[in-house]
């Protein structure tokens, strides 16, 4: 019987020639994801201003609104993963898009922070459904020896949306035209919903599904813990960097979001095969180191130069982290439990985005933005130590 580390690191059997990845099913899932995440990107620079402006909230309230999104997502993911294994992925994608779209329409009547939190809780439920469905569909469609590459390419849709969306969001916002932003985002969700009907109803080939009582997949726990440490800083970045940029004299954060996403897009497109070629464990280590250096640079060099430079390095780390860690989780899980493994793994994203903005918002209120990003770098360092301890230096590649 192999060790726990070998379960994550054993290379899959490679076939010659390499099997096809760019199938119509894969392209359809990627297109649907791109439109969906474009809608999320539109909201990124607008929500902090809405909470900070019309709703008269401070940094803590901004973090609370952002973090509430992840509460329902975290609670629902275990059941969502099991549902996807039993009923297929398309159901999750369609339902998640519809729920998220309804939540954005609700922003139009969210005239107080408590009401906004309720809408964000609803949005979290939609995100849990959509992301687990889309990520599981990609894992189902991709050949095992190209799964790391498939996850990297799938994640490009997320970063393309989060990179382009903020430019659209700030352009639409203009002089506080929040209603237009909400309506355009809801329209993007409607387009996603139409496209989602074309997704094939993928599910594991095996007829049986794993233990129905299990809601947490053990294969995904260690990669998920490390993911939490990696994404913790990004959760604070997306919720607070807009306000920090304004404090440093910049006119907004769209260039930062665009730069961050451009770096991720470049790494995950040109380097899509990195997790498969160099090993997911080694790739994850490099990712955590990049996150530590980038966050520390943002914290120590308090200037636009430091913010942009740190953003580039931080983005390099984030570009490598998710594909490598998800590959570890999915490869160690049997196909009938793949959806549950994805749900368990991505639940740690919810923990990061749920707790991160709130905790880091409190730190920002007490220690300023520099203390916020420095504390996030310490969390990334802790994740690196967990990864090294769990896998061991001689098995990382």
What is the structure's pLDDT at 294? 94
- Yes or no: say if 10 and 134 are a contact pair by the CB < 8 Å rule: no
Location of structure tokens 């933005």: 369
- Yes or no: say if 284 and 264 are a contact pair by the CB < 8 Å rule: no
Give the tokens for residue 373: 């990003």
Task: Give CA–CA dist 89/79, Å, rounded.
Answer: 13
167-201: per-residue pLDDT in tens? 899 899 888 889 999 999 999 999 999 998 888 76
Answer positive or negative: Cα dihedral of 255, 260, 261, 262: positive
Give the tokens for residue 383: 């994740």
Task: Give CA–CA dist 49/52, Å, rounded.
Answer: 5
Class of domain 22-203+218-395: mainly alpha
Q: Over pLDDT 70: what percentage of the chain?
A: 90
What is the structure's pLDDT at 122? 93
Q: How confident is the model at residue 140 (pLDDT cuts 50, 70, 90)?
A: confident
For residue 89, cis peptide bond before it (omega within 30 degrees of 0) = no
Q: Torsions phi, psi of 100, nearest 5?
A: -65, -40
pTM of the predicted protein model? 0.69
52-108: per-residue pLDDT in tens? 888 888 777 887 887 787 788 878 877 887 787 777 788 899 999 999 999 999 998
Lowest mean pLDDT among 176-185, 214-223, 377-386: 214-223
């Amino acid at each position: 019987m192999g060790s726990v580390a070998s379960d994550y690191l054993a290379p899959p059997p490679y076939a010659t020639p390499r099997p096809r990845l760019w199938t119509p099913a894969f392209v359809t899932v990627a297109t649907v994801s791109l439109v969906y995440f474009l809608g999320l990107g539109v909201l990124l620079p607008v929500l902090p201003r809405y909470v900070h402006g019309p709703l008269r909230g401070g940094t803590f309230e901004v973090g609370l609104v952002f973090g509430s999104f992840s509460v329902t997502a975290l609670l629902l993911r275990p059941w969502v993963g099991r549902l996807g294994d039993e009923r297929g992925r398309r159901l999750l994608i369609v339902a998640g898009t519809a729920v998220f779209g309804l939540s954005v329409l609700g922003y139009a009547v969210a005239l107080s922070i408590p009401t906004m939190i309720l809408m964000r809780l609803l949005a979290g439920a939609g995100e849990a459904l959509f992301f687990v469905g889309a990520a599981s569909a990609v894992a189902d469609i991709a050949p095992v020896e190209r799964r790391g590459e498939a996850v990297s390419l799938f994640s490009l849709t997320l970063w393309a949306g989060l990179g382009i969306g903020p430019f659209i969001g700030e352009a639409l916002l203009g002089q506080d035209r929040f209603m237009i932003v909400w309506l355009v985002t809801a329209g993007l969700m409607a387009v996603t919903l139409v496209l989602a009907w074309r997704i094939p109803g993928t599910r594991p080939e095996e007829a049986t599904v794993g233990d129905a009582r299990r809601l947490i997949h053990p294969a995904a726990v260690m990669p998920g813990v490390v993911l939490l440490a990696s994404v913790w800083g990004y959760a604070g970045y997306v919720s607070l960097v807009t306000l920090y940029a304004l404090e440093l004299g910049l006119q907004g954060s769209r260039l930062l979001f665009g730069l961050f996403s451009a770096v991720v897009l470049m790494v995950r497109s040109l380097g899509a095969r990195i997790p498969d070629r160099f090993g997911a464990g080694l790739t994850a280590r490099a990712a955590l180191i990049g996150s530590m250096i980038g966050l520390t640079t943002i914290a120590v060099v308090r200037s636009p130069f430091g913010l942009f430079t740190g953003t580039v390095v931080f983005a390099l780390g984030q570009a490598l982290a998710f594909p490598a860690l998800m590959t570890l989780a999915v490869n160690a899980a049997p196909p009938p439990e793949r959806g549950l493994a994805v749900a368990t793994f991505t639940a740690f994203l919810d923990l990061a985005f749920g707790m991160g903005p709130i905790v880091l918002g409190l730190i920002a209120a007490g220690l300023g933005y520099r203390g916020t990003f420095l504390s996030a770098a310490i969390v990334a360092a802790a994740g690196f130590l967990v990864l090294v301890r769990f896998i061991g230096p001689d098995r990382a590649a």
